[in-house]
Structures are given as structure tokens and as C-alpha cells.
Chain A
Amino acid sequence: MIHVENLSKYYGDFCAVDQISFDIERGEIVGLLGPNGAGKTTTLRMITGYFKPTSGSILIKDHSIKDEALQIKRLIGYLPESAPLYHNMLVYDYLQFIAGIRGLGQEKSRSRIRELVDLCSLDQIMHKTISQLSKGLKQRVGLAHAMMDDPEILVLDEPTSGLDPNQIVEIRDIIKEIGKEKTVVLSTHILSEAEATCNRLVIINKGKIVADDTTRALKQRANEEYTLHVSFNKADLAEVEREIALVNGIKNIRQIETGGMLHLKLTCFSDHDIRSEVYATIKRSDWELTEFYRETESLENIFRELTTEV
């Protein structure tokens, strides 16, 4: 669907995107991940035809961005960062303008706008000017704008920034729903979001791709070790440490200060699941167990590892 080869972009001498290549298939939800200034937005802007690449090529459904920019723009729905829309227009007028320019007929545009209003829950704000809207509401109008003619490819630049937690969940659901049949490329620097929505992640740092894999594979890579947390109400630190240390597969044990309670953090090798053994140890004693859980696996470790300099 999207084929990017040796793509570079220079701003003067500054290299924002450096020789990146990747392929995106139909039906994938791909997250472009990276710290601020990594080149995420620049890459998306080149894919959508807003910026001209300094070198390299982008093919979208066999259309080259150099010669057939117009066809490509018809295939892509794009939501730029922080949804810059015409602020003096009414939401309704704006959507109608977009429908017109996207080539929807009068009948079609009316029904499509109605669908989008339901999908993005805009019914309360249709007759407000865009400048009056809060950031989250604007973002939703922007999403409706991007999805106007049901594009085959949806490109979203930080789609959930500025939204409240409920809206974030809503938007994620919308994106996942669309991703079932369409291709979605989104950029974000929020790891949990990428993890929740995308089935593939491309991590960029300083304009270069440092990782490109399915979310699951990246997560596995991230977790050569995992962490168990146990806390006790009444227990003797020395005794607990001595007993638990007998369990095989623990790398180290650290005590975490929590007022009155004994909270231990066990770092374990991921090839052993030692939870049952630890529990058996606890059962044999008379310690009063208050908490026992495995820390959820996250991409944070690998992200930090790949995007910070050593």
C-alpha cells in the first residue's frame, strides 16, 4: 500500500529524516514512534504530499508522489498535528466545504456528514465556530475531516493529543475500527497509546529507523527480565529476603520504602515464571500478604534504550 524507499529530508543543512525505508500493507495500523524532533511529523508530511522529499521515493498504491500527487491526495485522509482548521468557520460549514472539495455530491455529503457526526459525536457543536472549540473537540472535527470521503489510507499526526481519557479511548476504538479494512498510519510519543492501537511499530530517532516490528515482537524484545511486586503487612525483612532468595530465577531483590509496609521488588529472568514458587514460599510462612503482582510489560525499556544515546 505504502512503499517508502531511502527517503530523506533536509532543512538547509539539518537532516530531519535520513534515508528511511519501510512498507505498509493494507489493513495495518502502524505507529510511528519517537521522541520529539525525531522526524515523525516530517515523514508523515512527505507521505501526504505536503513536503517534497529531498531524496528518495514514496509509492502509494503504485502512484509516485512526484508525478501523481493529486491522485495520492485523493487516497489519503490526513489529520495534521493539533488539527489546524479554519477557525472562523462553523463546524457544519467546514465539513461541507471539505465534502465539496473531496468531490462528494450534495446527497452523498449530507449522509456522510451525518455518519461522521455520529462517529465522532459532534452533534452538540455543529453550529459553533471552530475557534470556540476546545482542543479535544477540534481534534474530533479534524478526525471527521480526515475521514470525510472514507479514504483508503488514514494518516494521523498525534491524534489523541489534548483529549481527555474518555475521548482517548473513543478515538482509539474508532481507529481500530477503521484499521480493520483501511490502512492507518499514526504518529505518537505516548507509548501506551501506540501499544493499545497499533499492530506494528516503527520507532525513529534522529531521522533514522531504529526498530520496525510488530508490537508483540517488540514487547518480547523489551522483556528479558520482568518484575514481581510483593508486599506484606507484618513480616521481618531479613527473614523474607532469606526465604525468597531461595527461589530459583531471581536476579535481585530490592526493598521499596512504603510507610509501615514491607514492599519488595523482585527482578526475575523471563525464562522462568517463578510466581507459583514465590507463592508457595509465602504460604509456608505466617507473613500477612497484602499485594502480589507482576508488573505489566511495557515498551518503555526498549524505547528508552533505542532513543537515548549511550
Chain B
Amino acid sequence: MSLSFPASPTDGQLYQSWIFNAAKGVWAPNLAAQMVTSINGQKGDLGPTVVPGYGQLVRLSNQVVSSPVAFVAFTGITGAYDEYEIRFHSVRGGGDQNLMLGYSADNGATWNAGLTCTHASTIGASNGTPTGTGSGGAVGVLISPPIYNNSNVFGAHGFTRFSNPASSVFSKTFFGLATSISLGNIQYSGAFGGQVAAIFNAVRVICSGASNITDGNFSLYGVVK
């Protein structure tokens, strides 16, 4: 067998494709070269596929508030992840209210019904006063210092994690950190923890007092187990 190549390959040509014709017993240029168009069903940019490893955060949902809402809800929470995390930033409200987390066992149809929530928090201020601690609260769990009104250029930032939402064995504990700055440029930072006994499949972020959330970015993450 012998092969011959075109006398003048084009500049930059990387390869040539040939096909063997068994009936004629000859090789011929393969004018319709078979090109790889997908790998494992992935087309387009065939860069390396990133598979999240253990402990990595996977963003499951993102919600951006730009007009007043009473609350922001994430539904469809399952046992796919042992631990979830809600991150929020640039959150402001119609009034100076804390953010709290509510739970639903029926995917958001009703909230906190039959769920026993407890919480504990410690809030400090950059000017030393006021500082506050709190506990109790059967209707929700505190997750931030006051988010302050919508004329404030600062928004509240923070996260809260909760674990085992679908477990009938473990209690659903959560903890988080958050900070906010008042119009008087006093920064409040707090640590927030709590627990919910019952299984739940949706959560909502809502103001602890009579106020809407006017701005903010909320994301739900799952921690790969």
C-alpha cells in the first residue's frame, strides 16, 4: 500500500483524512471527514466539565428583589443535600426590621404550621451600643440585624445554613452570620442560630416586623455530600 498527499497542502492544515474502499481495494481522500461534534452529549465549547466535589457549594436558585415583596421563598427543598445555605446581600426594607426565616412542610402552601422553631442571636454594634441578645420565637428564626430602610445606601449581607431538612432522625439546626449598616453609619453584626424539629421542604425570608423587603439578592446553595 502506498499513500500520496496533495502537492500543496494549505497553510495551517493540521491533518488529512483518508478512507479505505474495500470493494476497490484502494485508499481515497475522505472528502466528508467525520468530525467530533459532541462529547458525552455536550456540544459547543468542549472545555473540561466541572463536577462539584465534596463540600462544594452548588447554587440551586437565585432571586433578585427589585420591587417590594412581603417575603422571598425557596421551595422544593429535599434530602438531596444534607446541608443548605442561603446567601443574601444588598437587602433593604421598607422599615428597620430584622430578617427571619420561616419554614413550610407543604412546599409553601402554609408557613410554620405545626413547626416549633427556636432561635438565639447575639448582635453587636460598631459604636458599642446598642447590643442585643435574644431567644425564643415560635414563628420563625432570626437571621440578620435590622436591614434598614430603602433610602440607605448599605444593604444587609449574610448567610444562614441549615442541615438535614428531610431527616426524620436529626433536628434541623441552622446558624448564620450577617451584618448591616444604619443611616448613622453604625455597623451591626450578629451571629444567629436555631432549630426546627419537623421536616420541611420550603423556607422563606421575611421581615420580623411589619415591613416589606424592597431590594436584595438571595441565593440558595446545596453543599455536596
Q: Do A and B bind each other?
A: no
Residues of B within 8 A of A (CB): none
Residues of A within 8 A of B (CB): none
